[in-house]
């Protein structure tokens, strides 16, 4: 049985790529009592309602995570929250920093406060590899969000609410990712590449949803879960998408890293290996005896896309794209 069986689940940002796949998976594999899609865009909600054929377990709430009172209303009677709402486009966040802070930081606090006040049992917040040692505003806001959700467990006091975070890399086929961009440019015969050395972590939507669901099952409150996923070279991705295209090297853009990181050297001191994932443990007294069993990572460990043990080649990338 799943902890979601019989539960009322709310997902913020639920009309996005992750939200749609999450809802489809939960509807098909659990006996959830109700799934609430909370988002700002009425057109996307209409399209999603049509896509799922009016399933009676689905509810659609218009609202923004910036709006605390609306979240309080939406969270009434909710058992589980998955927080996927964010402003995540790096250039847009650089150009509109106040807006990114309002959604990614103040929105996170609103989710935490509303979850505690309404007695939500479990909350998982989605993070990003860009939150580890951030160099752009989007990554910085998500790092703050991660810390808010981890420490939200102490704000809960004697309330039953528990918070955890999941952090993973680029998602195959999600809106705004490089794959749709490359596919759109493939017909031109030229693909722009920032740097031939660039590497990224890679995960499918299906894998991301499965990781979030399993983290919901395993969480005790305070964990930051990081999956063991493969890396890819951006040149291999280009070869997988458009093997005949010429590569045009344009240089790294502002706020962009050559290699991504999910666990820094400093965070590694609090990180354990529990098999299929790593767990960054909090540094607070309230963590107590809640530790998951696992092996500490070796001294000097850092989980970066260029020092990964697992790599995708062109054929493996094509297989992932076929199932995206």
- DSSP letters, 269-289, are TTEEE-SSEEEEPP-SGGGTT
What is the chain's length? 324
In tens, the pLDDT along 97-148 reads: 999 999 999 999 999 999 999 999 999 999 999 999 999 999 999 999 999 9
What DSSP designation does 292 have?
Answer: P
In tens, the pLDDT along 34-53 reads: 999 999 999 999 999 999 98
Q: What CATH number belongs to 8-168+203-228+265-302?
A: 3.40.50.720
What is the b/e burial string over 237-273, where b = at least 16 CB atoms within 10 angstroms of the residue's CB? bbbbbbeebeeeeeeeeebbbebbbbbbeebbebbbe
Residue 288: per-residue pLDDT:
65
> What is the DSSP code string of 211-265?
HHHHHHHH--SS-EEEE---EEEHHHHHHHH-TTPEEEE--PPTT--SB-EEE-H
Is 130 a residue of the active site? yes
| C-alpha angle 141-145-148 in degrees, rounded to nearest 5 | 140
Residue 324: per-residue pLDDT:
63
In tens, the pLDDT along 183-235 reads: 778 888 898 888 999 999 999 999 999 999 999 999 999 999 999 999 999 99
Phi, psi of 289 (to 5 degrees): -100, 25
- Banded pLDDT at 12 (limits 50, 70, 90): very high
Residue 314: per-residue pLDDT:
85
Mean pLDDT estimate for the chain: 92
Residue 173: per-residue pLDDT:
67
Q: What is the mean pLDDT of residues 68-81?
A: 98
Lowest mean pLDDT among 135-149, 248-262, 277-291: 277-291
Residue 122 host element (H or E): strand 122-126
On whether the CB atoms of residues 303 and 259 are closer than 8 A, the answer is: no
Residue 87 host element (H or E): none
Interatomic CA distance for residues 76 and 86, integer angstroms: 22
Domain ranges of the chain: 8-168+203-228+265-302
Residue 105: per-residue pLDDT:
98
Residue 22: per-residue pLDDT:
97
Q: What is the mean pLDDT of residues 168-175?
A: 80
In the set 88, 130, 142, 257, the catalytic residue is 130
Rounded (10°) CA dihedral 144, 147, 151, 156: 60
Residue 113: per-residue pLDDT:
98
Percentage of the chain modeled with pLDDT above 70: 97
Residue 159: per-residue pLDDT:
94
In tens, the pLDDT along 144-160 reads: 999 999 999 999 989 99
């Amino acid at each position: 049985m799943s902890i979601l069986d019989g539960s009322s689940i709310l997902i913020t940002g639920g009309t996005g790529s992750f939200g749609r796949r999450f809802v489809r998976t939960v509807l098909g594999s659990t006996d959830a009592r109700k799934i609430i899609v909370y988002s700002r865009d009425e057109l996307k909600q209409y399209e999603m309602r049509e896509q799922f054929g009016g399933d009676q377990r689905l509810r659609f709430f218009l609202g923004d995570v910036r709006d605390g009172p609306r979240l309080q209303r939406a969270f009434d009677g909710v058992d589980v929250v998955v927080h996927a709402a964010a402003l995540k486009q790096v250039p847009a966040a650089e150009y509109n920093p106040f807006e990114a802070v309002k959604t990614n930081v103040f929105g996170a606090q609103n989710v935490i406060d509303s979850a505690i006040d309404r007695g939500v049992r479990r909350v998982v917040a989605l993070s990003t590899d860009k939150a580890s040692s951030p160099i752009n505003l989007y990554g910085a806001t998500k790092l703050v969000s991660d810390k808010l959700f981890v420490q939200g467990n102490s704000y809960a006091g004697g309330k039953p609410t528990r918070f955890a975070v999941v952090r993973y890399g680029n998602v195959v086929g999600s809106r705004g990712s490089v794959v749709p961009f490359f596919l759109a440019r493939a017909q031109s015969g030229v693909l722009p590449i920032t740097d031939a050395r660039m590497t990224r972590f890679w995960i499918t939507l299906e894998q991301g949803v499965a990781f979030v669901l399993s983290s919901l099952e395993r969480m005790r409150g305070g964990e930051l879960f990081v999956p063991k996923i493969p890396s890819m070279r951006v040149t291999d991705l280009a070869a997988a998408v458009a093997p005949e295209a010429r590569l045009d090297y344009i240089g790294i853009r502002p706020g962009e890293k050559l290699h991504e990181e999910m666990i820094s050297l400093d965070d590694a001191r609090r990180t354990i290996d529990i098999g299929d994932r790593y767990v960054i443990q909090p540094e607070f007294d309230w963590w107590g005896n809640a530790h998951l069993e696992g092996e500490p990572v070796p001294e000097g460990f850092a989980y970066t896309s260029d020092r990964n043990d697992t790599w995708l080649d062109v054929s493996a990338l094509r297989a992932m794209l076929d199932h995206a």
